[in-house]
Amino acid sequence: MENQEIEMVTLPRIGDKAPEFKAVTTQGEINFPSDYKGQWTILFSHPADFTPVCTSEFMTFGVMHEQFKKANCELIGLSIDGIHSHIAWLRTIKEKIEYNGMKNVEVKFPLIDDVSMNVAKKYGMVQPGESTTQAVRAVFFIDPEGIIRTLMYYPLSTGRNFDEIYRTLIALQATDEFGIATPADWRPGDDVIVPPAKTSDLAEERMSGKEELDCKDWFFCTKKLDKDTVLDKILKK
């Protein structure tokens, strides 16, 4: 039997340093992640230019770009298309496409030329079970120190939930800023979870009611965290 080379898909993991790369983009050349040290980045891939699902996503990200920037986060897109295709597609979006109340949308964040698949392969964006020539809809949340904090993957056919992407970014920042965890469906202003007690004495103290906590049991305690307190710390003014 002849030996067959099997290409493995390697995914960077949560807690890993974001793989480094240099790339040409619609906003000029970037060195990643060094050019973005000190701010959050969301690096995301899409299957191809001039496709309808991707167009709806780029229009949404384009409209929300300033909202992400206020949260100290830059967006960086990628597909396995060339720079001229990117430019033509983004011009078409701005000049011709109206969708879901959005029109004249100008995409100002970088879109990476990755015809070589260099970046896509480093980030496991090309998954042969889905396609060997297009990237899946991957989303990487990378913190100001260049560490991967969250990954999301969607198939070619399913558009992403951009409210959830933004909610996740704010939750990650709140976790870092206030030393808490966030429960299911958390949004700023909702109660937050206090890290579980690590000693029996602390568990007993929490259940005594002496602290200003709402404890369902010794391991499940929440507390109030005002919406304005969260957003004042996270959002740029």
Model's pTM, two decimal places? 0.91
Residue 26: predicted pLDDT? 98
Give DSSP secondary structure letters for 36-82: GTTSEEEEEE-S-TT-HHHHHHHHHHHHHHHHHHHTTEEEEEEESS-
Residue of 54, 73, 215, 221 with catalytic role: 54
Residue 148: predicted pLDDT? 98
Cα–Cα distance, 71 to 169 (Å, whole number) = 8
Query: Which residue segments constitute the domains of the chain, with CATH numbers given?
Result: 21-160 (3.40.30.10), 179-234 (3.30.1020.10)
The question of whether 54 is a catalytic residue gets the answer yes
Residue 118 to residues 28, 134, 183, Cα–Cα distance (Å): 17, 13, 37
Binned average pLDDT, 10 residues per bin, the chain of 237 residues = 50 95 98 97 96 97 97 96 97 97 97 95 89 88 98 94 98 96 97 88 76 86 94 82
167 carries a ligand binding annotation: no
Q: Which residues contact 38 (CB under 8 A, 6 or more apart)?
A: 144
